[in-house]
Amino acid sequence: MSQMRQLPAEPTCPGCEEPLERADLFCGACGYDLSALSQAPVDHPTVAITVPPTAGGAEPGPELPPAAIRYDDPPRAAPASGIDDFELAAPGLVPPRPEAEPQPVDPRSVVPEPTPPSGTVAKVCVACRTGRIDEDGYCENCGHAQPRERDHMEQELDAVAAVSDRGLRHHRNEDSFAVSAAALPDGSPAVVAIVCDGVSSATRPDEASAAAATAANEALLESLPRGTHPQQAMHEAIVAAAESVNSLATDPAHAMDHDPNRHTNAPACTLVGAIVASGLLVVGWVGDSRVYWVPDDRTAPPARLTEDDSWAAQMVAAGLMNEAEAYADERAHAITGWLGADAYELEPHTASFKPDRPGVVVVCTDGLWNYAEAAHEMAQAAPADAAARPLHCAQVLVGHALDGGGHDNVTVAVLPFAMPEQGAGSAYGTA
């Protein structure tokens, strides 16, 4: 995680450049109306259910892949290219491009250039603008909690960018992400994005998501340069992330946790990841965070590459309901798979694809896809120059979710996928 840079954004008032708190409806200083948001749809918080409510106790149906998507088991055997040959290759990381550091702008505030603030920026409360902030992070005057580092995070590397936002209705950001770039044994780059969504009904979901994203990313940074097949590496990374989340449940530092609504549940989160390497696109997931494929040529069909571990998806897969019925049900968003000590059995799903054209891979939590569920909606929401400006694309997509109501934390990672040069081929052949 050494190259991780989180850039906290300072949302400011379009009227007078005063810093704002995310859920402010009006600017505290000049009264600017910030509430120009459409009425929000129903919230779909990520909640875990421990018993899949499939009628008749049927097994969850087979994961029927959407067209043009394959679900492969991770290859158990070493790929034909022979891992051993590459084991000593230097696993140099592609260094982040420093000049690529973006302005930490909030994607929502398309602000006319404000006049610079006249006074010095002392640490005053964002809500009342008078109190100072005590060491607990609350205003000593009005008591309001202050924006935390995780409320809004952005990160951009050469070939991947991610944005995470608290949203408009939740009091903290329980999502987390990790993006990184590694080099394969042959020196070609591998780009990684991991996105996790903490399960709100469990204890410390924010810690779970952060732990999972970090662990999965570190596992991949270790295994990919060794030559492990990306799909196998993804499988192992999910297992590593699960172990990391499991270990939170036994953390004695929190034995005195008195949170009344949560104390019964072990920390838990979803995980979705994508690897772009050698002309391959590998995805892996547990839970209901998703990967979408959006071709640069918007006339080509986009696709959703993951199948939720959710009640609705299971009902549809089992043929008990059609998609419309299933997603209209209040249980639709209950997840049936997650990382955490109380998960029944960890079933990491992985799949690899060989796209035949360039495009972008959108890795996101339900905080986004609730507002762009179908693949064509996601393709529509992504700007045309997504591949050239992945950070901008991620910002726009987060903005899309906030405009829709921002009912949940929103996290988006965008990985451009370029066609490998002719003749370069894949190091892994067709998976």
Partner 1 sequence: MANFSKSRVPQFSVDVYQNEYLPEGGREVNAIVTVTSTGGGTSGAAALLTGAGASPAYIPGGQPPGGPGAAVVIMVDCSGSMEYPPAKMRNAREATAAAVDTLRDGVTFAVVGGTHQAKEVYPGNGRLATANQVTRAQAKEALYRLTAGGGTAISTWLRLADQLLAQAHAPIRHGIVLTDGRNEHESPKHLQNALEACAGRFTCDARGVGTDWDVKEVTGIASALLGTADIVADPGGLAADFTQMMEKVMGKEVADVALRLWTPVGVEIKFVKQVAPSVEDLTGRRTEAGPRAGDYPTGSWGDESRDYHVCVRVPEAGIGQEMLAARVSLVRPDPSGGTPQTLSQGLVRAVWTDDVAASTSINPQVAHYTGQAELAHVIQQGLNARKSGDFDGATAKLGRAVQLAAASGNADTAKLLSKVVEVVDATTGTVRLKAKVAEADEMTLETRSTKTVRVKK
**Site residues for partner 1 per CB under 8 A:** 21-25, 43, 45, 127-128, 131, 136, 138-145, 166-172, 200, 256, 258, 260-261, 407
Q: Which is nearer to partner 1, 133 or 183 (CB)?
A: 133
- DSSP string spanning 164-226? EE--SS-SS--EEEEEEEEE-TTS-EEEEEEEEEE-TTSS-HHHHHHHHHHHHHHHHHHHGGG
Q: Taken in order 242, 333, 53, 68, is the CA torsion positive or negative?
A: negative
Q: Which is nearer to partner 1, 94 or 145 (CB)?
A: 145
Q: Which is nearer to partner 1, 16 or 47 (CB)?
A: 47
CB atoms closer than 10 angstroms to residue 29: 14
Instruction: In whole angstroms, give the CA distance from residue 180 to residue 422.
Output: 26
- Distance of closest approach, residue 121 Cβ to partner 1, in angstroms: 22
Under 8 Å between Cβ of 385 and 413? no
Instruction: In whole angstroms, give the CA distance from residue 106 to residue 164.
Output: 11
Q: Which is nearer to partner 1, 44 or 229 (CB)?
A: 44
Under 8 Å between Cβ of 227 and 89? yes
- Distance of closest approach, residue 29 Cβ to partner 1, in angstroms: 17
Q: Which is nearer to partner 1, 69 or 128 (CB)?
A: 128
- Distance of closest approach, residue 134 Cβ to partner 1, in angstroms: 8
- Distance of closest approach, residue 186 Cβ to partner 1, in angstroms: 48
Under 8 Å between Cβ of 32 and 14? yes
- Distance of closest approach, residue 329 Cβ to partner 1, in angstroms: 17
> DSSP secondary-structure letter at 415?
E
Provide CB contacts within 8 A for 395, sequence distance 6+: 105, 107, 154, 163
- Distance of closest approach, residue 136 Cβ to partner 1, in angstroms: 6
Under 8 Å between Cβ of 318 and 61? yes
- Distance of closest approach, residue 398 Cβ to partner 1, in angstroms: 16
Instruction: In whole angstroms, give the CA distance from residue 330 to residue 311.
Output: 10
